[in-house]
Structure 1
Amino acid sequence: MKARFTPALFAHAEAVLGQLLRFDHPADAVVSRYFREHRQLGHADRAFVAETVFAVLRRGRSIEARCAGQLSDRRRLLATLALVRGWSQRELAPVLKASEEEWLAAAKAMPEAELPPAVRCDLPEWLYARLEQQFGADETLALARAMNQSAPLDLRVNTLKADRETVLAKLAADDITAAPGALSPLAVRLRDKPALAKHPLFLDGAFEVQDEGSQLLGFLLEPKRGEMVVDFCAGAGGKTLLLGALMRNTGRLYAFDVSDKRLVNLKPRLARSGLSNVHPGRIEHERDQKIKRLAGKADRVLVDAPCSGLGTLRRNPDLKWRQNETSVTELTVKQASILEAAATLVRPGGRLVYATCSLLSAENDAIVGAFLDKHPEFTLLPASAVLARQGIACDGDVLRLLPHKHNTDGFFAAALERKA
């Protein structure tokens, strides 16, 4: 259902945008808080506001260039609706002033192809330079175009409660159009973005919302029944729940994180999942005593390391404006330290998976390369071989997912085996 476009709805979008452009807090948190404070907005109204303000964050640099200079929040929204979402002046009529028509027509007439590469990609200069060095100019443009689209909504089927065919059939019966994921055997991709929080399948724990790319990290770790497994940076537990299901609810699965809040958010998800083998634990830092007690005992350890998040720009477009070269450098120091600490848990013959949702080689290949140089007791397992055993197609020695190639978030993961 499409929202009815009114001056009042436009005013809500303008109010949200004003808060977002301060970049004080993550964009999704700002939008969620605004919707909690304005419960009169229906599902379609919320979708319009969220999609429009996120489009400004995605395309703001090229919009500003095409509009020749600094813009008010109002004009940013008008330009985004016209240039990005393709609205006509007739559709904009409820809010467009006569004095703005000529300005908007001139912005539409400005060819995007004439903009400098970083502007055309809607990236800050430092990030464009790094990506262009890694991927080349043509692929960086293709990557940026993909990241400037809204991400699809993916589900992961909980195999303790259902199978994919059953979930697809029940969604279809509720007029929710969905299809099997192209990569993960547990993924379901929805055509639209319906409200799912009260859906019976969700309440029963039959599925969780999880990007298809993220699901592949669990398959790369490949946990077995009865093993001791550690999710070292568990967060709110999306990957923890997948690992528990792959273990068929056997063995011991530790979910460690430094954030109480994130672990609290895991509790209701854990209750829905039906898992009883998960042991959440808050740690002070990567060298906490709880970690030391497990030294050399874990069969498998997943390190989904804190990172810049630049692979998730389809969902979190504000990150490209909130991160910078200094913050990335600080993160790489932390990533190396966390990987070192997590490696001490792995028993001889065990497996360690290092993963990020970053596109930058400094956070990915460089971290793994430096670790392997320092630790000859670990070797790189070809990701393609590990995933092929589970019926998942993947090229290369590491898992490298890119939005323009795989239609997932950007992910990197390397599987490392400790020599027996």
Structure 2
Amino acid sequence: MTDSRPARRPKRRGPKRSGGPPAPKDPARRVAYDVLSAVESRSAYANLLLPSLLRERGIAGRDAALATELTYGALRMQGTYDAILDACVDRSLRSVDTAVLPLLRMGAHQLLSTNIPDHAAVSATVDLARRTVGQHRARFANAVLRRVSARDLEAWLEIVAPQAEADPVGHLAVLHSHPRWVIEAFAAALGEEITVDMPETRRLLAAHNERPQVTLAAKPGRAEVDDLVAQGAERARYSPFAAYLPEGDPAALPVVRQRRAGVQDEASQLVTLALTRVRLKGEDARWLDACAGPGGKATLLGGLAGQRGARLLAAELQPARAGLVAGAVDRTINDAARVVVADSTRPPWRAGAFDRVLVDAPCTGLGSLRRRPESRWRRSAESVPELVDAQRALLRSALDSTRRGGVVAYVTCSPHLAETSGVVEAITSERDDAVVLRAADHLPEVPDVASGNFLQFWPHRHGTDAMFLALLRRQ
């Protein structure tokens, strides 16, 4: 292959047990398999299920670290491993039992991207297969994984990745484990043509396969960043509410256990902050979060509203998610937040009722692939138009819900142009009462984030999710 590839990542050794082979029940691999199987069979979210199972089964320390590595490693590199596994089965990988696929991906990750010895990786995975899918399918897994172990990752990529000159997107799809349509969408958002040389697109794809740092948010009025720093976190680069946790479980920090701080991406904090920084003439007492679940932005907005003597209404369509919002904003300063179950496209409140409105619209989630790697396999290009229709409806209703002179923040955790600038431009073209503000003026502390009048965060530039922000004033 003539195209350059990223340097091979050093193999990371999974946490080792002392005193010989794994314990018979191998709790780390079992919990990783259970999570991967749930993701495959019922579209579970690993970032929610894995911590829950670790707590439920009392798994901590090295076993928890190994389970996390196997789960997220297999999910992040699923596209790459599937291309390799497909070359190692006698029939198409699509015909393989979905109960066996998670085992094969776990085994491939151990063989190709960790320092676990090949014989131990194969033996432990096959032993788990016997206990979960039966002897017959365990023999199949054994045969496939032994074929995988015949080459290292670099050698396999020479075989299974398309030539970059002939198929640059297909090459990157195997190399960095992303669907083709997602790579094309990222290249368009970054302003790069589809060629062999797409340096920034490559950097973004590589960033999605790195483990993200944990970012904490101090809830305004209840905690300060100094409280997080005093408990081992590091002050963040941009957000005045954020701190990075270098290692360990966030729940181990007293300030998090006391619900005075929580986990929240820094870009998520910053787009929320930008809305509160826009100057308004006249009243500034009524704020709305129109799509509040699961509650991170609502918590920050509620705290800031309370400090200003304003009140926040947090609306969420799904009752279960509304419950999460209620738990997140509980006891915000001065009881400034109220949560309701409501469809913001058919609002129960009167038109022009709010001074500031946040629309964190449902989207493809392509901006959070570092933390939710399985999301890249959940959506397809065909799902985008339906989401865009919903996003336009929400932004249209948000403007109607805002008083003259008020401001709307339109936010998506996706850089896809159809979901970002495309939505804003479509709505502003159909009405004459909305003007787009220059969003970068309200976050001057963040470099290289402006995209015309909009803001676009990037993992490879800012170390955050790829969050988009547009600010609109209703005239």
For normalisation by structure 1, the TM-score amounts to 0.88
Match of 1:307 in 2: 363
Match of 1:199 in 2: 253
- Asked if structure 2 preserves the Cα contact closer than 8 Å seen for 1:147 and 1:313, the reply is yes
- Asked if structure 2 preserves the Cα contact closer than 8 Å seen for 1:203 and 1:272, the reply is no
Match of 2:33 in 1: 14
Task: Select the residue among 295, 306, 316 that pairs with 1:237.
Answer: 295
- Partner SS, residue 352 of structure 1: strand
Q: Does 1:157 align with 2:222?
A: no
Distance change (3 Å), C-alpha of 1:79 and 1:348: same
Q: Does 1:95 align with 2:149?
A: no
Task: Select the residue among 86, 109, 132 that pairs with 2:187.
Answer: 132
Q: Does 1:375 align with 2:375?
A: no
Q: Which amino acid aligns with 1:342?
A: A
Task: Select the residue among 167, 171, 174 that pairs with 1:119.
Answer: 174
Match of 1:175 in 2: none
- Asked if structure 2 preserves the Cα contact closer than 8 Å seen for 1:205 and 1:272, the reply is no
- Asked if structure 2 preserves the Cα contact closer than 8 Å seen for 1:301 and 1:351, the reply is yes
Distance change (3 Å), C-alpha of 1:130 and 1:284: closer
Cα distance in 1 for residues equivalent to 2:333 and 2:158? 53
Cα distance in 1 for residues equivalent to 2:378 and 2:42? 7
155-164 vs 251-260, greater mean Cα deviation: 155-164
Within-5 A mapping of 1:323-334:
323-334=379-390
Match of 2:155 in 1: 110
Cα distance in 1 for residues equivalent to 2:397 and 2:273? 22
CA deviation string 1:25-72 (max 9, x = no partner): 333344355446x52323542342233122211111112323424384
Cα distance in 1 for residues equivalent to 2:358 and 2:229? 29
Match of 2:342 in 1: 283
Match of 2:84 in 1: 66
Q: Which amino acid aligns with 1:217?
A: V
Distance change (3 Å), C-alpha of 1:87 and 1:359: farther
Aligned residues between the structures: 406
- Partner SS, residue 41 of structure 1: coil
- Partner SS, residue 299 of structure 1: strand
Instruction: Quote how far apart the aligned CAs of 1:131 are.
Output: 2.4
Instruction: Quote how far apart the aligned CAs of 1:18 are.
Output: 2.5
Unaligned residue ranges in structure 1 (runs of 5+): 173-177
Q: Which amino acid aligns with 1:233?
A: C
Cα distance in 1 for residues equivalent to 2:308 and 2:265? 22
Task: Select the residue among 271, 278, 281 that pairs with 1:217.
Answer: 271
Cα distance in 2 for residues equivalent to 1:13 and 1:62? 19
Cα distance in 1 for residues equivalent to 2:256 and 2:301? 18
Q: Which amino acid aligns with 2:249?
A: P
Distance change (3 Å), C-alpha of 1:218 and 1:19: closer
For normalisation by structure 2, the TM-score amounts to 0.78
Q: Does 1:27 align with 2:88?
A: no
Question: How high is the sequence identity, in percent, across the aligned residues?
Answer: 28
12-21 vs 332-341, greater mean Cα deviation: 12-21
Match of 2:327 in 1: 268
Instruction: Quote how far apart the aligned CAs of 1:303 are.
Output: 0.4
Q: Which amino acid aligns with 1:82?
A: L
Distance change (3 Å), C-alpha of 1:210 and 1:400: same
Match of 1:227 in 2: 285
Larger RCO: 1 or 2 (CA < 8 Å, sep 6+): 1
Instruction: Quote how far apart the aligned CAs of 1:375 are.
Output: 2.1
- Partner SS, residue 149 of structure 2: helix
Cα distance in 1 for residues equivalent to 2:248 and 2:38? 24
Match of 1:147 in 2: 208
Task: Select the residue among 432, 440, 463 that pairs with 1:407.
Answer: 463
Cα distance in 2 for residues equivalent to 1:25 and 1:409? 21
Cα distance in 2 for residues equivalent to 1:195 and 1:94? 34
Cα distance in 1 for residues equivalent to 2:15 and 2:115? 15
- Asked if structure 1 preserves the Cα contact closer than 8 Å seen for 2:359 and 2:409, the reply is yes
- Partner SS, residue 22 of structure 1: helix
52-61 vs 403-412, greater mean Cα deviation: 52-61
- Partner SS, residue 291 of structure 2: coil
